Chain A
Amino acid sequence: KAGVTQTPRYLIKTRGQQVTLSCSPISGHRSVSWYQQTPGQGLQFLFEYFSETQRNKGNFPGRFSGRQFSNSRSEMNVSTLELGDSALYLCASSLGLADEETQYFGPGTRLLVL
């Protein structure tokens, strides 16, 4: 079974721009979660989608948004980029049917904001 895939793997943007990142979950997984990883703040939860609905949200500003499609693929968008948004953005997928499920991570998209 293929793992979680994320595109693009690397991205360079400038302040004020917006960016869209994509995540394809493991086949059969309906939950997709997004995390931001930075040296200063570690791994932080952004949001989780299940059946095209946002089910859970972390403490990030409204510039960070996401969506999920009927095939469970998910995108996250960051608008009006700031230097501090430079990070590794990880998505993880799971079945989404219980709260005790293993989440499997993709390789991440490394975003650099100049």
Chain B
Amino acid sequence: GESVGLHLPTLSVQEGDNSIINCAYSNSASDYFIWYKQESGKGPQFIIDIRSNMDKRQGQRVTVLLNKTVKHLSLQIAATQPGDSAVYFCAENALSGGYNKLIFGAGTRLAVHP
């Protein structure tokens, strides 16, 4: 597992700036990836997903990029707002052994300053 909580890497941005959160995944056979947002005291909230046959997917103010060559995911948040402050996790669906086994990254804390 990875460390989460007090020693999370933190990205500090100004309100209105764009944010980029990066994630390296471990299994080259993984074919489905998800970004989650977790606010204090809450469970992870789905943001956006991407399948391995795509390299980019856009949502509302968010874009996910997938680089399978280097096993790297990124989440871009446009015009970051104070409400975006949270911990962000990438997750890959590990196919070995069956369905619905998500492997989570360590998480990145996003701090948005006014």
Do residues A38 and B4 form an inter-chain contact, with CB atoms below 8 A? yes
- Name B3-49 residues within 8 Å CB distance of A: 3-7, 31-32, 34, 36, 41-46, 49
Contact A48–B93 (Cβ < 8 Å): no
Q: Is the CB of A8 closer than 8 A to any CB of chain B?
A: no
| C-alpha gap A92/B91 in the complex (Å) | 13
Residue in contact with A42 in the complex, picked from B1, B46, B95, B101, CB distance below 8 Å: B1
Interface size class of A (residues with CB under 8 A): 20 to 34
B104 and A99 contact, CB distance less than 8 A = no
A103/B100 in contact, CB under 8 A: yes
- A40 at the binding interface (Cβ < 8 Å): yes
Question: In which size bucket is the chain B interface?
Answer: 20 to 34
Asked if residues B2 and A96 are in contact (CB atoms below 8 Å), the reply is no
Q: Assuming the A-B contacts A105-B43, A105-B44, A106-B43, are A99 and B95 also in contact, with contact meaning beta carbons closer than 8 angstroms in the complex?
A: yes
Tell me whether A56 and B4 are in contact (CB under 8 A). Answer: no
Listed in ascending order, the chain B residues whose CB lies under 8 Å from chain A are 1-7, 31-32, 34, 36, 41-46, 49, 51, 89, 91, 93, 95, 97-107
Please give the residue numbers on chain A whose beta carbons come within 8 Å of chain B beta carbons, in ascending order: 4, 31, 33, 35, 37-45, 48, 50, 55-58, 90, 92, 94, 96, 98-108
Knowing that A39-B5, A41-B2 touch, tell me 10 more A-B residue pairs with CB under 8 angstroms: A33-B101, A40-B5, A41-B4, A43-B104, A56-B101, A94-B100, A100-B51, A104-B46, A105-B46, A107-B42
